[in-house]
Amino acid sequence: MKLGSLFKLAREAGWSKPVPDIGTLFSAVEPLQDVATMSDIRVPPPGLDLRLGPSILIKRAEEVGVHVGCDPLIPLFAGMAIAAAWPLVRVRFPSRADALRRLDLNSGIAHRPVTTLTEKPADLRDQASDHSSIAAAKYTTWTEAKERFSQTE
């Protein structure tokens, strides 16, 4: 027998579902009896000798630890990670031209293949500088282009 069948039989026998009392949802909540158990769960930090690190970093880590309310090891390791990563700030990435030049030099081929692939041919540079040819090519219709090509053949 399934649960739905039981409810059907109960309704036929005169049972009705009770209306939930919303007032019980907002009743007062009793506080936990033993609050000291939470401090017992906390794992103590490892016993490290803080005097082994840089003195200024240890002093600042203790200040931050007291201010934030955490163990001084957390800001100490965060500060040491920042100090270790600080030289990466000054890394200069090469420009596109420098990267292409380096690829050409390392390829060992005399004719600079990467630079050749990225440069525009000279005649296209000349056409791009001539604004009238760009405007004329822009407004050419398909029929005009077909007529122009049929005349050259």
Reading the block at residue 147, the tokens are 């007529």
Beta strands in the chain (DSSP E): none
- Return the number of other C-beta atoms located less than 10 Å from residue 61's C-beta: 24
CA dihedral for 63, 68, 73, 79, sign (positive or negative):
negative
For residue range 98-117, list pLDDT tens digits in order. 888 888 888 877 777 777 77
Q: Based on the number of CB atoms within 10 Å of its own CB, is 75 exposed (0-12), middle (13-18) or buried (19 or more)?
A: buried
> Tokens 């007529």 appear where?
147
In this model, does residue 139 exceed pLDDT 50?
A: no
pLDDT for the residue numbered 127: 52
CA distance 61 to 76: 5
Using CA atoms, how far apart are residues 43 and 28, in angstroms rounded to an integer?
Answer: 32
Mean pLDDT of 76-89: 88
CA distance 138 to 153: 23
Q: Tens digits of per-residue pLDDT, 3-55?
A: 888 888 999 999 888 887 777 777 777 766 665 665 666 666 667 777 777 78
> What is the residue-averaged pLDDT of the chain?
75
Closest among 75, 111, 77, 118 to 96, alpha carbons compared: 118
Report the pLDDT averaged over residues 59-73: 86
For residue 55, the model assigns a pLDDT of 85
pLDDT for 85: 92
Q: What pLDDT, on the 0 to 100 scale, is given for residue 145?
A: 66
In contact, 47 and 38? CB cutoff 8 Å = no
